[in-house]
Chain A
Amino acid sequence: MFEISPAEWTAIELSLRVASVATLVATPLGIAVAWLLARRDFWGKSLLDALIHLPLVLPPVVTGYLLLLTFGRRGLIGGWLAEHVGLVFAFRWTGAALACGIMAFPLLVRPMRLSIEAVDRRLEQAAGTLGAAPWRVFSTITLPLALPGVLAGMVLGFAKAIGEFGATITFVSNIPGETQTISTAIYSLIQTPDGDTAALRLVVVSVIISLAALVISEWFARRAVQRLHGN
């Protein structure tokens, strides 16, 4: 019953890889966007904000189909990337990572933005009077003080990425060993006769991973409060 089969291990390993790559690539972008939204006023700010949150409110199958249209082999961006960079997304694990990254992005950005907003701007001013140029104020004051929130965003994004289903299966299908993650594997197993116990094993694994992510994220949030109070 608790023996995890090689095929299941493959799905778990692939899920972890897809979610890790999605999170690591999305993080620098997420920090930049979070900082822009928290600290700058510019034309089109609410549009950017809406665009980031779109995957949260669109049906995932719509996001997946839009990805297929733009990043598929014949898609505008996908075709160009395949030809000039050799980077193929369609029906590859990289495509799963892209789908998961986009679906996880709003959840990843939110805690980052909130924690940057919570950093006292008067501290940033003080750093300026001590000779710190704006980018050094960011790297020595803003980012370290917002770090727990940044990590919480990464954990939350990772958890979302590992559970992503709709956009992934629409964009890159459900190919064992290439694009079959825990979620899509469970979906396949449920539809297979005698697949119930295997599905249950993956469900347990998925609950453990998600629970761990939530606990870790909560821990970072508590650290954030301590940091801001200087104890």
Chain B
Amino acid sequence: MLRVEVSKQLGDFHLKASFGGEARVTGLFGASGAGKTSLINMIAGLLRPDRGMIVIDGEILDDTSAHTHVPAHRRRIGYVFQDARLFPHLDVRQNLDYGRRMNRVVDDPAQRARVIDLLDVGGLLDRRPGQLSGGERQRVALGRALLAQPRLLLLDEPLGSLDDERKVEILPYLVRLRDEANVPMVYVSHDANEMRQLATSVVMLNRGRVAGFGGIEILPGASLPA
């Protein structure tokens, strides 16, 4: 259960949004510049709200009135970035293992095998990120975030940097992730089609404000400009 109620001034741009719910996949839908990334950066703890609170499963992560701010590394919230951000000096195996090492979790080979299998990255384990295609990189980034055992997974346009062919290649993995990984997700995109396939509830964001909230039926027919 996630509850977000924040406001933040970013230069000339004012972001003020509140939403919540228990959806398996909450889609944050809006055009570029609507404040989607700033919003999930606040959920991740990478950006501090000026005012408001962020609560997950009853635990307060941000509460500006009480000066509460849990730093990103203690939130157990996974983040898949648009540009993957794999660590270039580590191979795929070490990238996947990074979160477990940092959280000092005991090695769980069965869990690792499940995730590697789910995302089909078994053949890439000894490669460096520089030797991967864009789609492969994004799959490894998904696995890396999952293996840190987050209680919530944030995905910021994970298909945004891929061409249409690659998108079609990755989308089924995201659907499998939603149905099998058992981690609630917040999925950011400006692509209505993607949203329809993945989201279970939708938050429409427009110029820093929530413009609509509901099921996927509130999505417009066409995608918004990138």
> In chain B, what residue has the closest Cβ to A227?
B89
Among the stretches A92-100, A124-132, A183-191, the one at the interface with B is: A124-132
Which residues of chain A are within 8 angstroms of B131 by Cβ–Cβ distance? Answer: 230-231
Contact A129 B88 (CB under 8 A): no
> In chain A, what residue has the closest Cβ to B83?
A122
Binary contact readout B40-80 vs A (1 if CB under 8 angstroms, 0 otherwise): 00001110000000000000000000000001111111110
Among the stretches B97-105, B168-176, B203-211, the one at the interface with A is: B97-105
A147 CB to closest chain B CB (Å) equals: 8
Q: Name, among A122, A131, A141, A229, the residue most crowded by chain B CB atoms within 10 Å (CB to CB).
A: A131
Contact B130 A129 (CB under 8 A): no
Question: What count of chain A residues pass the 8 Å CB interface test?
Answer: 24
> In chain B, what residue has the closest Cβ to A126?
B85
A90 CB to closest chain B CB (Å) equals: 45
Contact B102 A127 (CB under 8 A): yes
Q: Which residues 132-160 of A sit at the B interface, judged by CB distance below 8 A?
A: 132-134, 136-137, 140-141, 144-145
Contact A130 B102 (CB under 8 A): yes
A123 within 8 A of B: yes
A202 and B87 alpha carbons, distance in the complex (Å): 46
A127 and B78 alpha carbons, distance in the complex (Å): 10
Contact B98 A231 (CB under 8 A): no
B145 within 8 A of A: yes
B78, B89, B102: the one contacting A230 at CB < 8 Å is B89
Which residues of chain A are within 8 angstroms of B128 by Cβ–Cβ distance? Answer: 230-231
Which residues of chain A are within 8 angstroms of B81 by Cβ–Cβ distance? Answer: 122, 126
A132, A140, A145, A228: the one contacting B73 at CB < 8 Å is A132
Contact A127 B89 (CB under 8 A): no
Contact B73 A128 (CB under 8 A): yes
B139 within 8 A of A: no
Which residues of chain B are within 8 angstroms of A140 by Cβ–Cβ distance? Answer: 98, 102
Which residues of chain B are within 8 angstroms of A129 by Cβ–Cβ distance? Answer: 44-46, 72-73, 75, 77-79, 145
Contact A131 B73 (CB under 8 A): yes
Contact B72 A230 (CB under 8 A): no
Which residues of chain B are within 8 angstroms of A136 by Cβ–Cβ distance? Answer: 102
Contact A126 B102 (CB under 8 A): no
Contact B88 A230 (CB under 8 A): yes
Contact B148 A230 (CB under 8 A): no
Which residues of chain A are within 8 angstroms of B76 by Cβ–Cβ distance? Answer: 131
A226 CB to closest chain B CB (Å) equals: 9
Q: Name, among A120, A129, A144, A227, the residue most crowded by chain B CB atoms within 10 Å (CB to CB).
A: A129
Given A229-B130, A230-B129, A231-B131, verify A128-B71 contact (CB < 8 Å): yes
Which residues of chain A are within 8 angstroms of B130 by Cβ–Cβ distance? Answer: 229-231
Which residues of chain A are within 8 angstroms of B102 by Cβ–Cβ distance? Answer: 127, 130-133, 136, 140
B15 within 8 A of A: no
Contact B99 A130 (CB under 8 A): yes
A132 and B148 alpha carbons, distance in the complex (Å): 10
Contact B73 A126 (CB under 8 A): no
Given A122-B83, A125-B72, A229-B130, verify A130-B89 contact (CB < 8 Å): no
A231 and B128 alpha carbons, distance in the complex (Å): 6
Binary contact readout A210-231 vs B (1 if CB under 8 angstroms, 0 otherwise): 0000000000000000011111
Which residues of chain A are within 8 angstroms of B202 by Cβ–Cβ distance? Answer: none
B86 within 8 A of A: yes
Query: Which 7 A-B pairs give the minimum distances between C-beta atoms?
Result: A230-B88, A230-B130, A130-B99, A129-B79, A126-B85, A132-B102, A131-B103
Interchain Cβ contacts under 8 Å between A and B, 12 examples: A120-B85, A122-B85, A123-B85, A123-B87, A128-B45, A129-B44, A129-B46, A130-B99, A137-B73, A140-B102, A227-B88, A230-B129
| 20 more CB-based (< 8 A) A-B contacts, given A122-B81, A230-B86 | A122-B83, A123-B88, A126-B85, A128-B45, A128-B71, A128-B72, A128-B73, A129-B44, A129-B45, A130-B98, A130-B144, A130-B145, A131-B103, A131-B148, A134-B73, A144-B89, A227-B88, A227-B89, A228-B88, A230-B130
**Contact surface of B with A, Cβ cutoff 8 Å:** 44-46, 71-79, 81, 83, 85-89, 98-99, 102-103, 128-131, 144-145, 148
